A and B are shown apart, each in its own frame.
Chain A
Amino acid sequence: MMNKNNCAVALLLLTTLVPTSLFAADDATAEQRGLEIAVEADRRDNGFGDSAASLEMILRNRHGETSQRQLRNKTLEVSDDGDKVIIIFDTPRDVKGTAFLSFTHKVDSDDQWLYLPALKRVKRIASRNKSGPFMGSEFAYEDISSQEVEKYTYLYIKDEVVDGRDHFIIDRDPVDPTSGYKRQRVWLDKAEYRVWKIDFYDRKDTLLKTLSYEDYHQYRGQYWRANIMDMINHQTGKSTRLKWQGYRFSNGFDENDFTKRALKKAR
């Protein structure tokens, strides 16, 4: 580890002096290292099967005024593809009963449906709105979508100790050109490969948002979930806090619990 660090520092010093083509090999190493970290983080979360949780979203505008939304979600792990997710809205009351179904994919765009309870209508919606806000919050659809290794290319940056925890820092660049981000800088702890912080850079490579994770709990002796996720938008001064509650694993969900028909029955 020390050797690699020293190497990186030395390389940084040399960067200004030597033509970049000479560094192809070292870039490859940083890319490989970044990918290895992402793969390991993914591997550690593999096999959770299914989960359910409820969620409170607290939206805060730049004047400090807040509004709340209550949601519940169900997730089904799909091997060799992205997860299937149902999100049910409980408040605000005018959208109560609205439900959202998403088949996330590793590379292709996700498949998404929305159930509108007033009309009893299920609508397939376009999933090109990746960068659009989810329920008026600071979370974009792509932020809440399942995080798959294939969705990014990676670059190991450095190690850093924050709050007494040793972290890897990696940059990940979204593969999808419709992503709202140029890159994301991610802090993962070395002990458990949990994400503690993500800096989101917009298409102009300006810092747009920071997401911080707090209050991690371990489930079934393996899977870590944070109870608090705080997203701050640096450009608008707005923020959104997600408070997760009641995580349940091994609910026995199967594919039939994640269909358009299941969406109509969701409560």
Chain B
Amino acid sequence: MFNRALLVLLVLLPSSYPNGAEWSNEVGIEARHFFSGPLNPKQYSNNLSLTFKSEFYHDWQQGDQRLVVTPFVRLDQHDDERSQLDLRELYWRKSFTNTDLYVGVRKLFWGVTESVHLVDIINQSDMVENLDGEDKLGQPMVSLAHTSELGDWEFFLMPWFRKRSFAGVEGRLRTPLVVDQKRARYESGEGEKHLDSALRWSHVISDWDVGLSWFHGTDRTPQLIAATTNGTPILFPYYPQLNQLGLDLQYTYEAWLWKLESVWRRHDNRNSPTLNRSTAAVGGFEYTWYGILSGVSDLGLVLEYQYDNRNGSTAPLSNNDIAVGSRITLNDEADSALLALISTDLDQRTRFISIEASRRLANSLSINLEARFFSNTTPQALLYPLRNDDYLEISLTHYF
């Protein structure tokens, strides 16, 4: 549905546009090298990918109305599931006094922590883009946002669900059995058309940034259930209904950022009653030393603890883990920055290491480096399927 709408839009791209309108485009090339051979002979060791993102916006009525269109395209050398066309945004906004009405496909973010994002539930994760879940699919919605003395209020109605993306047969960074998207199942009889709703209140009270959110609808995180398609074993995603209360909190004091995110979930899950209620939290701090290295660079230390009370077969990845990391910002002309994070599972002793670095090469060209390592992966560990998938990625992005 989205792909077709997007194609129509691309064809209709105007060659000239009115005042108050602007196009920004970026094209990227990404090379990934996996240090170990694949577990499945259909998979690859080196991969090239091309990306194109365009953003169009048009403001009128002194900015009281805005149209935003953000298509995104990826062409992947090997993995058909990773090649995609998505509308990250396609919305119209109308502003009234202290209130905004949004209609269309939007992308937004809730939360404060670095190592895992618990309260951020509106948009589905685009897992073929990146394992970290920070890439998101656009979410169709009607939403209202209101600013008052007592904080910001946002209300969302979401009439269409977006399925999580998973790597295909040729793709790396996947479960040994491929996830068959076409066989996605839903707890709700309405399937993808279930009307999800959400409410969020957020406020700044001096040094505290606080957010409370309520979500009711289709869980963005599916359970993966084994089955066969034409005799081939596969996994199919099952999306239960979820009620979730979320809290995000940050206390900023001098060079300290203290952060907490917590969710209380209730699944009305007929298939596994043990899943009914669960609690998860992530909390920690970021401390920054300013003006190191000839007085201009910053060194930050990040420490976060991740907790989830689900255990046994339903345990998620971050149930009793500690993430330690460092952020280096050179504050130079090229905006060079590096973020390294090591997450250790305190039960399974597995380690996930992530290094991200970026730098501007020219006014409209930048380079990104990303390396990910999965170490100490025992056969019982959740990360075991990724044991051969350590990789290095280099990408160049040109803006025009």
Contact = CB atoms under 8 A, between A and B. Distances in A.
Interface of A: 59, 61, 67-68, 91-97, 109, 111, 119-129, 131-133, 135-136, 180, 256, 259-262, 264-265, 267
A14 to B, nearest CB: 39
Given A67-B333, A132-B291, A132-B296, A96 B204 contact: no
A133 B24 contact: no
Contacts of A261: 145, 147, 152
Contact of B209 (A121, A124, A132): A124
Interface stretch (B160-168, B239-247, B359-367): B359-367
B248 to A, nearest CB: 11
- Which residue, B26, B206, B209, has most C-beta atoms of chain A within 10 A? B209
B153 to A, nearest CB: 10
B290 A132 contact: yes
B315 interface: no
11 contacts: A92-B335, A109-B254, A119-B134, A126-B252, A128-B255, A132-B290, A132-B331, A133-B296, A259-B147, A260-B202, A265-B93
A267 B67 CA distance: 13
A119 B290 contact: no
- Which residue, B252, B335, B397, has most C-beta atoms of chain A within 10 A? B252
A76 to B, nearest CB: 15
Contacts of B250: 124
Contacts of A128: 254-255, 288, 290
A267 B57 contact: yes
Nearest to B208: A124
Given A93-B24, A93-B363, A124 B257 contact: yes
A126 B259 CA distance: 13
A133 B335 CA distance: 11
Given A96-B24, A111-B206, A128-B288, 19 more contacts: A59-B333, A61-B333, A93-B364, A93-B400, A94-B397, A111-B252, A119-B134, A124-B112, A124-B252, A125-B257, A128-B290, A132-B296, A132-B298, A256-B147, A259-B204, A260-B204, A260-B209, A262-B147, A265-B93
B109 A120 contact: yes
A94 B100 CA distance: 28
A121 B109 contact: yes
Contact of A129 (B63, B298, B333): B298
A123 B202 CA distance: 13
B331 A133 contact: yes
B333 A136 contact: yes
Contact of A91 (B207, B290, B363, B397): B363
A105 to B, nearest CB: 10
Contacts of B100: 265
Given A94-B366, A180-B291, A260-B152, A126 B147 contact: no
A94 B291 contact: no
A124 B363 CA distance: 27
B256 interface: yes
A164 to B, nearest CB: 37
Interface in B206-253: 206-207, 209, 250, 252
Contacts of B295: 131
A136 B334 contact: yes
Nearest to A135: B335
Contacts of B290: 128-129, 131-132
B152 A259 contact: yes
A267 B24 CA distance: 13
B311 interface: no
Q: Rank and list the top 6 A-B pairs by shortest CB-CB distance, nearest first.
A: A93-B399, A121-B109, A128-B255, A136-B333, A94-B366, A129-B290
B80 interface: no
B313 interface: no
Nearest to B330: A136
B107 interface: yes
Contacts of A256: 98, 147
A92 B107 contact: no
B257 A126 contact: yes
A94 B398 CA distance: 9
Nearest to B63: A267
A93 B145 CA distance: 29
B59 interface: yes
B255 A126 contact: yes
A111 B399 contact: no
Contacts of B147: 256, 259, 261-262
A242 to B, nearest CB: 15
Contacts of A95: 335
Contacts of A133: 296, 331
A120 B107 contact: yes
Contacts of A122: 109
B131 interface: no
Contacts of A135: 335
B7 interface: no
A91 B24 CA distance: 11
